Structure 1
Amino acid sequence: MTLIALGLNHLTAPVSLREQVAFDTESSSAALLSLRGEPGVEEAMILSTCNRTELYVSVATGAEGVPQAWLSRHHHLTPGRLEEFLYRHDEDAAVRHMFRVATGLDSMVLGEPQILGQVKDAYQLARDAQALRAPMERLMQHTFAVAKRVRTDTRIGAHTVSVAFTAVRLAEQVFADLRDASVLLIGAGDTIELAARHLVDKQVRRLIVANRTLENAQELASRHGGYAISLNDLPQHLADADVVISSTASRLPVVTHDMVEKAIAARRRKPMFMVDIAVPRDIESSVGELDDVFLYGIDDLRQVIDDNRRSREAAASEATAIIDLQVERYMAWRRALTLRNPAVDLRLHAEAYRNEVLEKARAMIARGKSPDEALAFLANTLTNKLLHHPSARLREAALSGDMDLLHAAGRLYGIAEKPEVSEE
């Protein structure tokens, strides 16, 4: 069985392709069942975020190409479409990649903490779909322990610049003082929550939260002094926004070219700054072609984030050392699964002897022998049978001077070696 990590991310593929292979929460469960049902696939987990889509699978020998073929087929892509954008890691490299992802070392924002929650969500979905067995269950528990240790033992998360913070920082470059700006947030997830906190710190003039589920929008807005609208009301409120930050799980754009064109006209050409940090994208890409609209996508934020990356590179080196050690520990456990456990064979061997001698002792009692005589036979015969082969091997070892075997036998049977007594 081979462990494989297969996927694409913000470093290997453009957002236009990442959104084609993204999975939302609703589709992930069905996708897991489909992937787990492929020939040779023993375990499966799908991790899909705005920056990556990855499959973690354990496959039988000969089925190593199944996950990639399934990914293309599932998303109705032409054969070979993903070839140049995919990366694949096998066995210990797959384990190392998982550890790096969960600790934020592979993120656009080095050390960002949100990815660990997304990994935990992916794990829970895979558990609910019964797509995991002991090896990957152990891997995920090991992953969470490694992530916790990296957070505790290094400064990888110190002064982390999140995508949400970067979006707000860009908005400040357009509007020198956000206290004069009206901001529209679309979505109600963690990224939008973080953006709302940063905006409140900047004392924005007005905060609007739009979401498909109005109750979720109201809950978030009430925490940050804003007011809520449903997505259906978005066209009527878009012209009020100087800044728009959007991050939903919608498969289709929620802000169209026509909506923004009408909003700009209503604003009398007053500029609008828009940040789309969703994958698939929430705002139609053609919106960026409109005059007086400044549209940034998730990939456009990379330069701003890279400027802050260097301060955490030393901590990343420390985290890598921790990961290297933990990879070897997990792989040692995984390799042990493929070895036949001699303790199991020894117990089966002993139980077979016991059953054989026990039947003979019962037969003696049935023939009229006393219980004491049968018990004595049972004890003596069982002892002789269990110790015959070890005793013979140890006699040979003593004659040949095989001290390694003699010492190993002492440790195996828990027999303390007696110190030699010198004659005076």
Structure 2
Amino acid sequence: MNRSAAEVGAAAPSARLATVVLLTTAVQTIGSWAVLSFPALAPEIGGSLAIAPVLVGSLISLVYGVAMLLSLVAGQTLRRYGACRQSQAALVAFALACGSAASGSLPGLVLAGLLLGIGYGLINPATSHLLARVAPPERRNIVFSLKQTGVPLGGVLAGLATPALALAFGWQAAVGGLALISLLLAAALIPSRPALDDDREPAAPVLRRPLAGLSLVLRLAPLRWLSIAVFFLSAVQLCLSAYLVVFLVEEGGLSLVAAGALLAATQAAGFSGRLLWGWLADRIGDGNGVMLGLAGVMLLASVATALVTPAWPLIGVYALFLVFGITAIGWNGVFMAEVARLAPRGEVGNATAGALVPTFGGVLFGPSFFALAYAAIGSYAMTFGGLALAALAAGLSLVVGRRASLR
């Protein structure tokens, strides 16, 4: 049976949407996989380079610090060169980073951290710009959430595939293989570039207004308060991921294997949450409200964590941290969709770049503040309880931003 012209016309945007979602999710997954592979390989790399594994794990701070700085101009570069080309540049940076690390030298590892930060700072503004062009408003949250599942998916690959490859072929071959995958995806984007970058402005300045994205976010009250909220939400998210295992082993009475399994389950809950909360935000048409509710649950989960003792039944511990994970690790897609909704027309990339500055700031400073608080308090449980203050600050910021958007 022949399809009507209307059906054909409706199919084309759907196919374009599916293609863009697939490509942007793949880019996000590769970026997360590349960045998180180094902490996952810390014991192997540390032994090979004769340095403490904790120093390899701390490479993540360098990555996010560089990414935060690059976010200041990433909105301008995508306007000039195109979001698809910027995604390719990020993939090439990931490939060069992995190749640099595979050289097996300490300077090569440091250079890898710099290159990973460059790549990670480029991808979110570019992928958000691409999605904003094709996502229907009524499906914006689930579309952005689908793309953001690439972060925990990359984490799963980093935690499972990369160590397995390192044991089989050596850690240098493992990261070298990841470099090859990054280059192959960059090459796969070439046919799509003319269509995806048809809105680029070749004469657009890059360094004339390096703070354009951040200025945009600070100027518009709803975006400003959303970004402040996400600073605190990012801090909670990273503290949960960074300190959960040591808390459960030191004060929760779990073995290292059991604590690691619970961390994996928490990450899986976050993966599911990104889809669930994106669907819910579209269903009720209120991304801010969903994020506000998540902040409230995070507050309660933080307080409950302060009460965890070895006497707790394992099922109770699992239930608590699955709830904690599905909220603290599940909000990112809705946040990206909210930035796209609040940004002025044609400024999604710039707004995303600006909003990522406080996001990466929370990633950088949250775990450091947690460590300082633990040193003063002497209890992981009570320090986790203190994260309730960060969740409260996020909730209050969302309320203020909500009121500002209604004016």
Q: Same fold (TM over 0.5)?
A: no
Specify which structure has the bigger relative contact order, considering alpha-carbon pairs within 8 angstroms and separated by 6 or more residues.
2
* Structure whose alpha-carbon radius of gyration is higher: 1
Give the structure with the larger strand fraction.
Answer: 1
**TM-score between both structures, scaled by the size of structure 1:** 0.23
Report the TM-score when normalising by structure 2: 0.24
